[in-house]
Structure 1
Amino acid sequence: MLYGILAATTALLLAALLAALFRGPGLRVRAFDRRRQRPVPLLGGAAVVLATCAVVGTCTWTGVAPLGGGVGRLLVAGAGVALLGLVADVWRLRVRVLVAGTAIAAACVVPYDETGVPAGTLAVGWTVFVALAFRSLDHADGLAGTVGVVTAFGVAACAAADLMDGLAVLLSVLAAALTGFLMHNWHPARIGLGACGSLFAGFLLASSAVFTRAGYGTWSSSGVLFALTAVGSADVALVVLSRRTAKRSLLRAGPDHLAHRLRRLGLTPQGATVLLGLGAFSGVLVGVLAHTGWADEENVLWVAGGALLVVLLLLRVPVYGARRVVSSQVRAQLRVRSG
């Protein structure tokens, strides 16, 4: 217990320190979020990855908290996904390259001997989906980090319940590293997570959740896995439905994510992040209770129904063309005044 607290504290402080140090280099190499009005460097994810790998590697090397072969392979695969994301942050990569790289990494860590090939193939697709969903959540200050911390603790609880101590240590360290990063990412953010950190966190969380549900029924596992990642899934569903309805390209960025729409309803940036964090906590709580047997697995249907309701309600919030309408009104007023 004492070693676990020490490892988590070290990861938190190391991630906070590295995030502060990486802000300047991120600006110099122009690796910043181009969707924002002010430059926010994207090397915060590198800080999370380095802190997580350094602390977990040290614990394994010293024998304090050995991960085990399967979990160690998962961390190595996650580091590979993070490296691919870092390249995307600095030089830009097509989405299909990120999808292919993440799928290859996921295919290398899925425990097919316990899941079987058909369910393992589905697990690979689901891991890629969650990794990209976490990248999608990186659209608002503090959101991806907050949801990542909540989800990491939830999946760690599932792993601990199944006596997967190495996996629980890995997830606890990841949660601590994300918390240290959040010290610099809370609104107004001074550094962002980027594809490096968001893909890394999403990949580790999804793969770890697959590990904890290996050997359980496919349908029941699908419900628990969805509950653990309900906010990310809802964000992707909202964006896809919104852009399809508006006949926009799915790859064309826009202010149409969960936090964007909550902001249009009057919430502050901090308020939107806290509200979505509470939503993530609710889903994770149901998923953990269902996994440990403290609640019926049918309760995940409430999470699915709640996520669907949120998507349908927020879909009615107008997000496209709002700035253009305002600009037209301003130009019309200027013409009247000049006339």
Structure 2
Amino acid sequence: MAAPPEPRRDPARHDQRGPRPVNPAIVLGTAVSATVVGALAVEPLRRLALRVGLVDHPGGHKAHRAPTPYLGGPAIILGTAVAGVADDPRVHALLFGGLVFALVGLVDDARPLGRLPRLAVETPTALLVAVNSVRADLTGVSWLDVTLTATWLVFAANAFNLLDNMDGALGAVTTATGLTLGAAALAAGSGPVALVPFALAGSAAGFLVHNWTPARIFMGDCGSLFIGFTVAGCALLVFDGPFHAPAGALLATFTATVDTGVVLLARALHHRPLTCGGTDHVAHRLRRVGLPAPVIVYGLAASAAVSGALAVAMTLGLLSPLVALSGAGTAAVAGVLAFQQVDVYRVAVTA
């Protein structure tokens, strides 16, 4: 009897899959260089933003009280670009996609775009990156995996965009996520891929020096979309397989995913527009119950660190992917439901 045929493989994707260690000195140098670049690039970008009028003015649902310049995002991108030394075409495809998302965000910072124009650029970019081997192998059907991956990349990028709603919040979450995702990549033997989250963590930490409350500069949609896309893409490069991929993707984006779930469910229940800005995010709800802003930021970062640590444990074989996926999914649903108990829509009436 003839042997059954082997399953079809995508050489462009799987030839990169074997263990590829990287010199620890390169990892450390990448992280340190990104931190320095991220910290030093902020001030000239801040002055440029003030000169050209790229400033976020207070008012409406916005919590800051003074005009604050944008352009922190390019500092994070410049720091992360240090990872471009990685000898891996998937990394280059990922950074290209992140840059396109960042450009969409930069245009939106300068002149707000509607959701449809943003999606009109984000969707084909995500599809192009997925075709170039940055994707999850969930079904074994190439076109379906590409479609699912592109959908996830767009969702995650915009989820991180929504999480940028308090001074220092996204910078702290990105630092924690980048460090744990980089550790997971090293544990999985994906040395070149590990350079990206470590560089992202370093650049976010450098930016955070200027963005800690009260923030002197914001990263804007340019920075938050870049971060979300890069984190989501890195997770797909580190975690592969029907259970590993979704578990790793959810754990790497857990904090942002829960925040988006909280907002979407609350707005649906209260018949409010789903895509408008508002003060109904997790950070705002924690503020509503009396927690100070720095404590909230530390809490969000801790949440990202814990979920990231679980992803590392899964990579090391200490945690079953199925258990990790079901546990993270259950925790996410519980968090979304629990935060609905904090009423942020009721207007306080004073005598």
Q: Which residue in 2 is equivalent to 1:336? A: none
Which portions of structure 1, spanning 4 or more consecutive aligned residues, are displaced by more than 6 angstroms?
none
The residue correspondences of 1:60-79 to structure 2 (distance < 5 A) are 60=85, 66-79=86-99
Q: Is there any run of 5+ residues in structure 1 with no aligned partner, and where? A: 61-65, 334-339
Distance in structure 1 (CA, Å) of the matches to 2:87 and 2:314: 25
Residues 80, 273 of structure 1: alpha-carbon distance in 2 compared, 3 angstrom cutoff:
same
Change (3 A) 1:224 1:170: closer
What is residue 284 of structure 1 aligned with on the other side?
308
One-letter amino acid of the structure 1 residue matched with residue 187 of structure 2: A
What's the counterpart of residue 295 of structure 1? 319
Residue 300 of structure 1 aligns to which amino acid in structure 2?
L
Say if 2:103 is the partner of 1:83. Answer: yes
CA distance, structure 2, for counterparts of residue 97 and residue 149 of structure 1: 30
Identity between Structure 1 and Structure 2 (%): 33
Kindly indicate whether residue 339 of structure 2 is the aligned counterpart of residue 314 of structure 1.
Answer: yes
Query: Partner of 2:154 in structure 1?
Result: 128
Structure 1 residue aligned with 2:127? 107
1:1-339 matches, cutoff 5 A: 1-34=24-57, 35=62, 36-53=64-81, 55-57=82-84, 60=85, 66-110=86-130, 111=133, 115=137, 116-214=142-240, 216-217=241-242, 219-297=243-321, 298-322=323-347, 325-326=348-349, 329=350, 333=351
List alignment gaps of at least 5 residues for structure 2: 1-23
Amino acid at match of 1:42: Y
Kindly state the Cα deviation for residue 157 of structure 1 after the two structures are TM-superposed.
2.2
Number of aligned residues:
316
Whether the 8 Å CA contact 1:33–1:40 is kept in 2: the answer is yes
Cα deviations across residues 43-100 of structure 1 (Å, max 9, x unaligned)? 11111112222x234xx3xxxxx33222112112211211111111112211222223
Distance 2:304 2:145 in 1: 25
How far did residue 27 of structure 1 move?
Answer: 2.9
Distance 1:137 1:157 in 2: 23
Q: 1:233 to 1:189 in 2, by over 3 A?
A: same
* Separation (CA, whole Å) in 1 of partners of 2:310 and 2:26: 29
RMSD: 1.9
For 2:330 and 2:265, how far apart are their aligned partners in 1? 17
Q: 1:131 to 1:112 in 2, by over 3 A?
A: closer
User: 2:314 corresponds to which letter in structure 1?
Assistant: A
Aligned counterparts of 1:181 and 1:113: Cα–Cα separation in 2: 29
Q: In the alignment, residue 95 of structure 2 is paired with which amino acid?
A: L
Q: Distance in 2 between matches of 1:106 and 1:22?
A: 28
Query: Hey, what's the Cα distance between the residues in 2 that align with 1:292 and 1:117?
Result: 30
Contact 2:39 2:209 in 1 (8 A): yes
Structure 1 residue 114: Cα displacement: 7.3
Deviation at 1:220, TM superposition (A): 4.2
> Which of the two has greater helix per residue?
1
Equivalents in 2 of 1:40, 1:51: separation in Å? 22
Whether contact under 8 Å (1:286, 1:300) holds in the other structure is: no
